[in-house]
Amino acid sequence: MQLVEIKKFDLVTTSCAVAQGIKKDHKPVIQLVRKYKSDLEEFGRVEFEMRPFETDGGTQKQEIALLNEQQTTLLITYMRNNEAVRAFKKRLVAEFFRMRSALASKKMDRNTARLEYRPLTDAIKHEREAQGKTIAPHHFSNEADLINRIALGMTSAKFRVHHEIGKKESIRDYLTPEQIHCITELQRANTVFIGMGWDFEQRKATLMGIFTKNHRQPLIEEQQRLAA
């Protein structure tokens, strides 16, 4: 289980990860979170969500708490300071420090992806105008979903449903650093291909080749790290 994860643009750990780290059941840890929720929320809102976990009877869901660095540090001070807790504290400090660089990279790539989306839409617009064709909103969404299908394996609409993302929120705020990096590079390449006058199938095939060569394995390795 990953100790520290990126949630949108914040670093958080979970009550489940804390329980595993201090070698305790999840139930007393989540109870401690609820007991001291008002204290913890002096450092930001404590969020809860349902996540699946494996049991002998199959997959079930349990409610877990999402805690930022300050909240997690405070929660640990309410625990008995035994050897397991002390070891977990050291791991936690190191992991939050390590993940800050990953978060900074995600923010940079997110901003790059947003800035470079405009050249893509301009390329679509100019190409259709040059051909004397009309322009409709779906011409832009089709290109975005071409890249989403390659990088994420699904359209933005399906990704939104799968991850329970609100309609007014950007899915890119919920992507992993590798996913954003992949989308940014494919978006940049697609802008060039549209400007060269390549048709949809030619661009799709070439983008798939770029994905397979440069991004498939890093994405697999990232998912394995997140699941560990």
Question: 197 phi and psi, to 5 degrees?
Answer: 85, 15
Question: CA-CA distance, 177 to 130, in Å (whole number)?
Answer: 36
For residue 95, CA distances in Å to 12, 62, 130, 132, 220 come to: 11, 24, 52, 55, 21
Q: Give the residue among 16, 6, 181, 217 at the shortest CA–CA distance from 95.
A: 6
pLDDT per position as a tens digit, 161-189? 887 888 877 787 788 888 988 998 999 99
The first and second tokens of residue 131, run together, are 């051909």
Asked if 22 contacts 88 with a C-beta cutoff of 8 angstroms, the reply is: yes
Average pLDDT value for residue range 16-45: 93
- pTM value is 0.56
Indicate whether 107 and 75 sit together in one domain: no
Let me know if residue 94 belongs to a domain.
no
CA 137 to chain centre: 26
Question: Is residue 28 pLDDT above 90, yes or no?
Answer: yes
Indicate whether 192 and 107 sit together in one domain: yes
Structural domain harbouring 21: 5-79
Q: How many domains does the chain have?
A: 2
The helix/strand/coil state of 5 is: strand
Indicate whether 53 and 124 sit together in one domain: no
pLDDT per position as a tens digit, 138-159? 888 889 899 999 999 999 889 9
Question: Is residue 2 pLDDT above 90, yes or no?
Answer: no
Indicate whether 31 and 131 sit together in one domain: no
Indicate whether 52 and 127 sit together in one domain: no
Confidence at residue 16, expressed as pLDDT on a 0 to 100 scale: 92
Let me know if residue 50 belongs to a domain.
yes
Position 27 confidence tier, pLDDT thresholds 50, 70, 90: very high
